[in-house]
Amino acid sequence: MSKTALQALLIALIAAVAVAAGVYLWRAGDDAKHTAETRSTGKALIGGPFALVDHTGTTRTEKDLLGRFAVVNFGFTNCPDVCPTTLQTISDALEMLGPAAQRIRPVFVSVDPDRDTPERLKTYREAFDQRILMLTGSEAAVARAAKAYKVGYNRMKPAEDGSYMVNHTALIYLMGPDGGYITHFPFRIAPEKLAQSLKKWVDG
């Protein structure tokens, strides 16, 4: 191997080690931050205060979820597939749970308050389980609720006809009767599996 090639190889190795060390330190710092947050609260930092309006026009806060397990999902009524599929999954799981579903409060929070008025949510709700609490509010109120649940969302560029989509986190959150975060499920979870998991927590 020539001297020039050897030097190039050494430079590449040094760069690789530097990158690996940087990734390690970044992960270590992130883990340390997570550990510090967990130690300071004892719980994952998901959930918290909110003030929204339900499908009947009634003001609702996080206190309305206390005393029962809450299944919380964020979305919007003009969503073509993910949101209706998720709400149908939740509806089917509640049906499978039978009487045990009485200990669960299902909640849907709109991330499209401009279009999702209480009246719109009331109509949309008719396609799913009637126990689902539909929530909306001002842009600021929805943003605070989304931030509390670590939900990201953003409105896409409108089409020529003015219609638009909203990208958003599509997880299903399970909160405890005390309002604390328990776990979350992917939106593609099967109704049977969701019902099985919820029953485990509800039955204790």
Per-residue b/e over 102-113, b at no fewer than 16 CB within 10 Å? ebbbbbbbbbbb
Do 71 and 31 belong to one domain? no
Is residue 143 a contact partner of residue 76, using CB atoms and an 8 Å limit?
no
Do 104 and 187 belong to one domain? yes
Distance from C-alpha of 194 to C-alpha of 183, rounded to nearest angstrom: 12
Backbone angles phi, psi at 52, to 5 degrees: -130, 180
User: What is the band of 204 on the pLDDT scale with cuts at 50, 70, 90?
Assistant: confident
What is the per-residue pLDDT across 121-177, written as a single tens digit (0 to 9) for each? 999 999 999 999 999 999 999 999 999 999 999 999 999 999 999 999 999 999 999
Do 165 and 97 belong to one domain? yes
HSE of 13, CA atoms in CB hemisphere, 13 A: 6
Do 30 and 131 belong to one domain? no
Do 22 and 68 belong to one domain? no
Do 78 and 20 belong to one domain? no
Over residues 75-99, the mean pLDDT reads: 97
Do 34 and 125 belong to one domain? no
Do 38 and 55 belong to one domain? no
Do 72 and 160 belong to one domain? yes
Over residues 91-120, the mean pLDDT reads: 98
The answer on pLDDT for 88 being more than 60 is: yes
Do 91 and 22 belong to one domain? no
> Mean pLDDT across the chain, nearest whole number?
84
Kindly report the three-state secondary structure assignment for every residue of 99-151.
Answer: HHHHHEEEEEEECCCCCCCHHHHHHHHCCCCCCCEEEECCHHHHHHHHHHCCC
**In 3-state terms, what secondary structure has residue 84?**
helix
Q: Is 178 exposed, middle or buried (0-12, 13-18, 19+ CB in 10 A)?
A: exposed
Query: Higher pLDDT residue, 154 or 3?
Result: 154
Q: What's 57's domain CATH number? A: 3.40.30.10
Do 111 and 15 belong to one domain? no
Do 96 and 163 belong to one domain? yes
Determine how many CB atoms are found less than 10 A away from the CB of residue 40.
9
Expressed as residue numbers, the domain containing 76 is 51-203
For the chain, the domain total comes to 2
